[in-house]
Amino acid sequence: MSYNSFGHLFRVMTWGESHGPALGCVIDGCPPGITFTREEVQRFLDKRRPGQSKLTTQRQEPDQVEILSGVMPDDETPEKLTTTGTPISMMIRNTDQRSKDYSEIRNRYRPGHADYAYDLKYGIRDYRGGGRSSARETAARVAAGAVARKIVPHLRVRGAMVQMGTKKIDRTRWNWDAVDTNPLFCPDPDVVEEWTEYLNALRKDGNSVGAVIEIVAEGIPAGIGAPVYAKLDQEVASHLMSINAVKGVEIGNGFEAAEITGVENADEMRMGNDGSVRFMSNHAGGVLGGIATGQPLVARFAVKPTSSILTPRKSVTAEGKDVDVVTKGRHDPCVGIRAVPIGEAMVACAVADHYLMHRGQTGRVEKEY
């Protein structure tokens, strides 16, 4: 029911504004006995952290996470934390707030931003850096996702940028190992240089561009999910749509499914030599009727170009005057890049939640997990 939380049994509530003292999340419903370290959480936050290359905002935020509750440190190795089953509160202090940057837009609605909508809704708005609508909120998601990844044994969730503007990767060159070695999180190493130049040119030009991110989750136990309104694919889509600037989501072959026939689209099955079922394709993206089949879950989402650009755009003021708006401040020319770890986190949370729900309703737990 909540406006600022998601999940059923693995429930995450986030809080905090871009330019307030801090932001954070509380995870409620984490199983007891999960072990992790603060550094493991930090590693994912670092991946999302701004200021790491010219291709992302120059805001310098260390984004150091504090873990405030819900864990017991190990007696001998205190950095090793074990969840106790109680709420895990994690907090990140804001340090590099330059609220001054925003005084100019206090009464000006930035096109493509939530400014205008906020004023209509609440009649009051924290204009500093977008307030609650800032993508800084997503740091809290990434922290929650770091814990979520620990819950389902053998789960691996990875993401990559597969399209920037009209440029698409060559999928035959897909290389997961390359993803973490380039600042674009691109799985096709051959395009990185070209895309980087393209993005730098846009940035210098006061412009920005959109992107498509693909998330692949392997190791999802077959059977988790739900058949009608808490479908696993629906919830993955919903979670991804909740990320700032996302305008579209696909599962499996997605919009391509609209273009093909039933004969082509069928993921045929055969018994494998080991006595388990083999799918001969994965158009479904790992989900049938809302329930995981054991194939990799594949989701893609479209991120719109950053609305904060240096090119003037027509807008209005809160007082109803026409005005041209230039969004200074420090912004990403392609917010899609940093959306990669965020998308991973959201998928991990959806899977962990459904894992617990499935265990709750059915008690069916395969030997492997």
Minimum distance, C-beta of residue 232 to its own copies, in the bound complex (Å): 9
Residue 114 interacting with its own copies (CB under 8 A): yes
Taking the complex as a whole, the smallest distance from the CB of residue 5 to its own copies amounts, in Å, to: 6
Element (H or E) spanning 159, and its range? strand 156-164
Q: Is 352 in the site for its own copies (CB under 8 A)?
A: no
Q: Among 43-51, 177-185, 187-195, 306-314, which window interacts with its own copies (CB under 8 A)?
A: 306-314
Out of 209, 340, 347, 350, the residue judged to bind its own copies by CB under 8 A: 209
Determine which residue in the list 51, 62, 165, 219 makes contact with its own copies, applying CB under 8 A.
Answer: 165
Q: Does 109 bind its own copies (CB under 8 A)?
A: yes
Is residue 88 at the binding interface for its own copies, with CB under 8 A as the rule?
yes
* Shortest distance, position 365 Cβ to its own copies, whole Å: 7
In sequence order, the 6+-apart residues with CB closer than 8 A to the CB of 246 are 240, 301, 302, 303, 304, 339
DSSP SS3 for 296:
coil
Query: Please, are residues 183 and 55 in contact by the beta-carbon 8 Å criterion?
Result: yes
Closer CB to its own copies, 181 or 369, in the complex: 369
* Minimum distance, C-beta of residue 366 to its own copies, in the bound complex (Å): 9
Owner of token pair 């846009």: 202
**Binding-site residue total for its own copies (CB under 8 A)?**
153
Q: Helix (H, G, I), strand (E, B), or coil: what is residue 41?
A: helix
Note whether 270 and 276 are within 8 A (CB): no
Give the integer Cα–Cα distance in Å for 325 and 323.
Answer: 6
Write the CA distances from 167 to 199, 331, 357, integer angstroms.
11, 22, 40
Round the CA-based radius of gyration of the chain to a whole number and report it: 21
From candidates 26, 65, 81, 342, binder to its own copies by CB under 8 A: 26
Coil/strand/helix, residue 324: strand
Query: What is the CB-side half-sphere exposure of residue 243 using CA atoms within 13 A?
Result: 34
Q: Which of 53, 54, 66, 193 binds its own copies (CB under 8 A)?
A: 66
Which residues 6+ apart lie within 8 Å of 215 measured at CB?
157, 158, 159, 240, 297, 298, 299, 300, 301, 343, 344, 347
Compute the least distance from the CB of residue 284 to its own copies, in Å: 7
Pick the binder of its own copies from 305, 329, 341, 343 (CB under 8 A): 305
Shortest CB 144 distance to its own copies, Å: 12
Residues within window 116-145 making contact with its own copies, judged by CB under 8 A: 116-118, 120-126, 131-133, 137
Q: Quick one: tokens of 214?
A: 């693909």
Does 233 help bind its own copies (rule: CB under 8 A)? yes
Query: Does residue number 292 form part of the binding site for its own copies (CB under 8 A)?
Result: yes
The least CB distance from residue 131 to its own copies, in Å, is 7
Using CB under 8 A as the binding rule, the residues of this chain from 252 to 291 that contact its own copies are: 252-271, 275, 277, 280, 283-285, 287-291
Nearer to its own copies, 313 or 330 (CB): 313
* Cα distance between residue 174 and residue 85, in whole Å: 39
Cα torsion through 252, 258, 262, 268, rounded to 10: -10
Q: Which stretch binds its own copies (CB under 8 A): 41-49, 50-58, 81-89, 179-187?
A: 81-89
Which of 226, 340, 345, 351 forms a contact with its own copies (CB under 8 A)?
226
* Smallest separation, CB 49 to its own copies (Å): 20
Residues 135 and 129 sit within 8 Å (Cβ to Cβ): no
